[in-house]
Amino acid sequence: MKGDIGKPFDRIDARAKVTGTATYTSEIGVANAAHAVIVGSPIARGRILGIETAAAQQQAGVLAVLTPANAPQLPGAAPDPKKGERVLNVLQDDRVWYVDQPIAVVIADTLERAQHAAALVAVKHEAAPVDAALDASIGRAIDAGDLGPNGKASSARGDVASAMATATHRLEQVYRTQIQAHNPIEPHATTAVWHGDNRLTIYDATQGIFNVRDVLAKRFGLEPKNVRVISHYLGGGFGCKGSPWSHVVLAAMAARAVKRPVKLVLTRPQMFALVGYRPTTIQRITLGADARGKLVALSHDTTAECSRFDRFVEPSGLQSRHLYSCPNVTTSHRIVELDVGTPTFTRGPGATSGTFALESAMDELAYAANVDPVELRLRNHATRDEDEDKPYSAKTILQCYAQAAQRFGWSKRPMKPGSLRDGGKLVGWGMASVTYPAKQRPAAATARMLADGTLVVQSGTQDIGTGTYTIMSQIAADALDVPLERVRFELGDTALPEAPLSAGSMTAASVGVAVAGACAKLRAELAPQRRAPDEPWAAVVARSGKPEILATYAAVDSPERAKYSCHSFGACFVEVRIDPLLPLVEIGRIVAAYAAGTIVNPKTTRSQYIGGLVWGIGYALREVSVRDPRSARIVTRDLSDYHVPVETDVPDLEVIQVDEVDRHVNELGIKGVGEIGMSGVTAAIANAVFHATGKRIRELPITIDKLL
């Protein structure tokens, strides 16, 4: 074997991306394509009484204006929330559920003409009173029921109330997180092309081409085989592109109405309204511990916002069920229906918001018990998943603590807040534990050895910027002992073998196992036909008289995996610096260590860890979505008002990739890394702020007003 797994190869698609030859969805040239623009509702709740379109329709180049009055009624059945199917707003009635909900679509021969005509559409409406504040409506919270995380919104073991009565140290605090908007560099875009009435091709900026296929087939009453979805490059996803939103169906509807291809690209302000967000949460953490700081009771209750017309649960309590050893644990998740759009999965869903609360509370417990924060976590280390009552497939978090702490210099940290200074600035050191599920889903792949020696491997997955083109090529090269430059990995097309959406940090584990399996089958087909152990595979194909020899493999979860609790783990250490006169938090340095099984490519892995850390800095310190309570409209609707981290916000980030062998998680020992980097960094920052100032901040983001 060549041993290509584990080598730090440059990304195969890097040159195409930096030279501009990588073609993203909105750049794909389709002959005779028209342009569609969505007209959004000016109100958050009520009904549309009428839409005046005459002025728009009279404009040059306008082909059609679709409204609830003339849009075709789609034959598709109602979505099934249990399957993760989203409720879409596609002009089927006059109800309004949130601001900027699509209420009309203007189609014209150019984008500029469509935009101009859309501005001329006049709306008559009947507005109802708006309820858009989670705090004010928390009394209306309902249990998430069977729509909760992992199928259950609540969990319980032991007797928390009785254990709390015996605890030496008791802590009960409320932690809040605010909306975090998705802002991938590439906005959502869809181009729809009909071939007659029963065949549809969609070019879409999506993390899940088969999800898009299935939703469109269902909504338009088509056979899935007659819907083809293509997405070769994606300029970031982060969860918002995980399943199709209303604009995808509207693009297909518009293309059918004008009988020509239609391109629809969301604007940046529309990205804040139409494609979900990380919801506001209110989390109550209760901890009880003995005199040494050993946990005897833990409860984690989450209330989050949701829309009135759909369901989404931010699973903030999952890590509290297993991360630490504790005999008495309860978690719950409730939602409050508001006049807002539906939230969605956002990088590290649940883990990011929930770990902020849990790890902040653990830091508070460390001070209550007068125990070093790392030592407290060591005393509460769980050797098995006590929630699922299973051993971990691997848990190398102790090595993460040790290596990151040593590199950071944690042993020099004084316990007393405010005791470190650098010139006139306060210095604080904080840390947090990190965990994220190591998921895997069924996936299929085909491996083809061509007569010229090229190995073509295909799977209908997506590369959302995580390096999928590269790491799948490495896995294939390793399996068949061929040079990496002779491998071509093809993805992003529903004509290829089916694979899951690229989300939940599961692509490498899912598709990687399928690719390895397909290549192993191909090797088994080719090897007996070799005339010498080192004869090139191309010679075997040439003798066969065929242009290629191929093998297909469908990977499923192994029975072995079901016996274990599968997670990645890590530790994040942060230094902050704060001027007491102008308490703006500056990140001095971050050292983070992660243990995530087999690392296919250290370069792509490191970039994913760093991406998560940078997102965490933004969530902790910069990103604020301001919702006007009178209108329920997000008023921070572009990147001049919604502040994401820039280069000066980000220090040198040191990432330690801790060696871990996990022989149970899957055949390759691979765990995903795309989201774990964001889990824990917010709490580590908040804990460092406390260490610097003595002021405990329990609400994100940490802004100047909270520190004054």
Catalytically active residues are 675
Nearest-Å Rg of the Cα atoms of the chain is 26
Instruction: Collect all residues with Cβ–Cβ distance below 8 Å to 528 and sequence separation of at least 6.
Output: none
The greatest distance separating any two alpha carbons of the chain, rounded to the nearest whole angstrom, comes to 80
Q: Which of 473, 697, 456, 433 is nearest to 585 (CA)?
A: 697
Give 582's strand partners: none
**How far is Cα 210 from Cα 463, in angstroms, rounded to an integer?**
14
Nearest Cα neighbor of 221 from 190, 245, 252 is 252
Q: Amino acid identity, residue 262?
A: V
Rounded Cα–Cα distance for residues 359 and 356 (Å): 6
> In three state form, how does the secondary structure of 557-621 look?
CCCCHHHCECEEEEEEEEEEEECCCCCCEEEEEEEEEEECEECCCHHHHHHHHHHHHHHHHHHHH
**Alpha carbon distance 20, 34 (integer Å):** 24
Cα(154)–Cα(300) distance, rounded to whole angstroms? 10
- Which pair of structure tokens corresponds to residue 83? 């399957």
* Phi, psi values for residue 180, rounded to 5°: -120, 120
Phi, psi values for residue 641, rounded to 5°: -105, -30
Residue type, 109: D
d(CA 530, CA 662): 34
Q: Do residues 594 and 611 touch, judged by C-beta distance below 8 A?
A: no
Question: What burial letters (b/e) apply to 323-344, b meaning 16+ CB within 10 Å?
Answer: bbebebbbbbbbbbbbbbbbbb
Q: Which pair of tokens denotes residue 682?
A: 């917010």
**What does DSSP assign to residue 327?**
S
Residue 701: is the preceding peptide bond cis (ω within 30°)? yes
Exposure string (b/e) for 271-298, b if CB count within 10 Å is 16 or more? bbbbbbbbbbbbbbbbbbbeeebbbbbb
> Rounded to an integer, what distance in angstroms lies between the CA atom of residue 658 and that of residue 662?
12
- For residue 40, what is the enclosing H or E element? strand 34-40
Q: How far apart are CA 4 and CA 457, in angstroms?
A: 16
Quote the CA–CA distance of 435 and 194 in Å, as a whole number. 45
Say which residues have a Cβ less than 8 Å from residue 581's Cβ, sequence separation at least 6: none
